[in-house]
Chains A and B, each alone.
Chain A
Amino acid sequence: MYNSPMAVPTNKTQEFLFLMRGAQWGGGLSPQEAQNGLDAMMNWVEDLRQQGHLTAGQPLSFEGILVSADRQGTLMDGPFVETKEAVGGYLIVRAESLEQARAFAAQCPVLKYGLFIEVRPIIPQCSIASELTGELLYPQV
C-alpha cells in the first residue's frame, strides 16, 4: 500500500479510481520484455506518487467470488467475471479533472501489452453533510 506523504489535497482536486483491467495482459512476453515493462511501470507509478497524485494502490487477487442472487433469491457465487476484463488491482489518483486523470492513465507504459484502465471519478462527499455527520458522530466537547 502506498502511503503518500507528498499528496497535497487541495479544493481543486478530486480523486479517481483507476481499475487496472485485463487479467491476462502481458502473456507471451520474453523475460527481457517483462523486465522492461516492469521497470517502465514502476517508474510510471513512482512519478505519479512523487508528484503528489497517488493516494493509494493495491493489487487484487484473482481468486475471488462473485455473490449475487437470482430472481427467486437463491444465492449464487462463483468466479464469473470474464478474465479478459477482470480487475487486477487499483490505484487512487488525485487529479484536477477527468481529462487530467485520463491523461495520466494514457501514459501507462504497458497499455500496449493488453492492460486497460477504467478511470472513474470518486464522488466526493458533500462538505456540509460531512460536517454534520462529523458533529453527530463526534460531538465536540
Chain B
Amino acid sequence: MSHAHVSNTGRIWKVFWLLSAITIVEVFFGIYKPQALFLTDFLSMNLLNWLFIILTLVKAYYIGLLCIWKEKRQLCDGWL
C-alpha cells in the first residue's frame, strides 16, 4: 500500500456526479414508468425493476469504491 498522500478530490467529485446522475435516471423512470418496460416481463420480473436493481448495484459499487479507495488504492487505479 502506497502512502503517497495524493489528493483524490477530483475523482471523488466525479463519483459524486455519477451517483447523482444514476439517481436522477432512477427517479425519472420511477415517475414515468415507461409502459414498454413496465409491462414486459423477463425471468418473471418486469424490465423496469431489472433496470432499477442493476442501477442500484452500480451505485453500490461506486459507494464501495468511495469507501475502499483509501484502503486499497491500487484497486481503483485505472477505473476512473
State whether these chains interact. Answer: no
